[in-house]
Structure 1
Amino acid sequence: MTITLSDEARQLAGLFETETEATVKDCLLDEEFDRVIFLIKTGEMGKAIGAGGEHVSRVEQRIGKSIKLVEDAPTAEDFVANTLAPAAVYNVTISENDDRLAYVEVAEEDRGAAIGADGRNIDAARRLAERHYDIDDIELT
């Protein structure tokens, strides 16, 4: 699947890669919540964050927006779980009926973290899952 980035998203991804030396696989501009979501190559999350979060903080200051990082994964199930971090995800099942739905079992105490303030985390998870795995929706169970 080919992901098309806007000029602004490409510039932000390039800036993030230069500042952190981590590989950005996708960049979403979340205008509603004034933030940028970076999809980071598997295994490079530590490099992206930096010691004590210094890399993220430095880029946030430069661009004037908050940043959410998501680590890529080789399977749709692992990918969906990563998009909902830091919530504890127990299981992800992908339904292949009429629509591709991801049913996610989340610890009850982490439902709020999975959804996020004003639904920002679940919205980002849905957008990324659709872009990368053609998943039509994510439902928490």
Structure 2
Amino acid sequence: MTLTLSDEARRYIAAFADATGVTPVDCLVEDDRAVFVVPAGEMGAAIGPGGQTVEEVEEQLDTRVDLVEDADDPAAFVANCLAPAAVRNVTLSTQGGSTVAYVEVAQADRGVAIGAGGESIETARRLADRHFDIDDVQLA
């Protein structure tokens, strides 16, 4: 699948890569934050010791930065999108040409998975659609 990035997203990716040495595979730029999809296995380098590197990126971009670890498997990717919520299971279901990811989350982590104002679940929906053509993400 080919991702289309805005000019602003490309600038953010370049700035992130310069600051961290990690080149994100995707970036969603929103009003109050940027969400970077970091290659699998490179999350530690992207965050830096004690979160220092990501804090520097936040200062440089003057926005909040959230990170999602990439995955080759769609279920794993959806689970990564909802981190740090404890995802127990992700089931993909296709009906009538639509694919929905049903996510089982520990009851105590439902609020984390949804996020303030639905921010986390909406980000998961957008990224799942962009990377795996998943039409919806629902908490089961």
Tell whether 2:61 aligns with 1:63: yes
The amino acid across from 1:90 in the alignment is R
Task: Tell me the SS of whatever aligns to 1:24.
Answer: coil
* Aligned equivalent of 1:48: 46
- Cα distance between partner residues in 2 of 1:23 and 1:43: 12
* Aligned equivalent of 2:73: 75
Task: Tell me the SS of whatever aligns to 1:79.
Answer: helix
* Aligned equivalent of 1:12: 12
TM-score, structure 1 as length reference? 0.97
Q: Deviations over 1:69-123 (max 9, x none)?
A: 0000110000000000000000000001121000000000000000000111001
Kindly state the Cα deviation for residue 54 of structure 1 after the two structures are TM-superposed: 0.5
* Aligned equivalent of 2:119: 120
- The total of aligned residue pairs comes to 139
Question: What is the CA RMSD across the aligned residues, in angstroms?
Answer: 0.6
* Aligned equivalent of 1:130: 129
Q: Determine if contact 1:23/1:44 at 8 Å carries over to the other structure.
A: no
- Cα distance between partner residues in 2 of 1:96 and 1:69: 28
Kindly state the Cα deviation for residue 23 of structure 1 after the two structures are TM-superposed: 2.2
Q: What is the correspondence of 1:104-115 to structure 2 with a 5 Å cutoff?
A: 104-115=103-114
Percent sequence identity is 55
Q: Determine if contact 1:113/1:121 at 8 Å carries over to the other structure.
A: yes
Kindly state the Cα deviation for residue 64 of structure 1 after the two structures are TM-superposed: 0.9
The amino acid across from 1:5 in the alignment is L
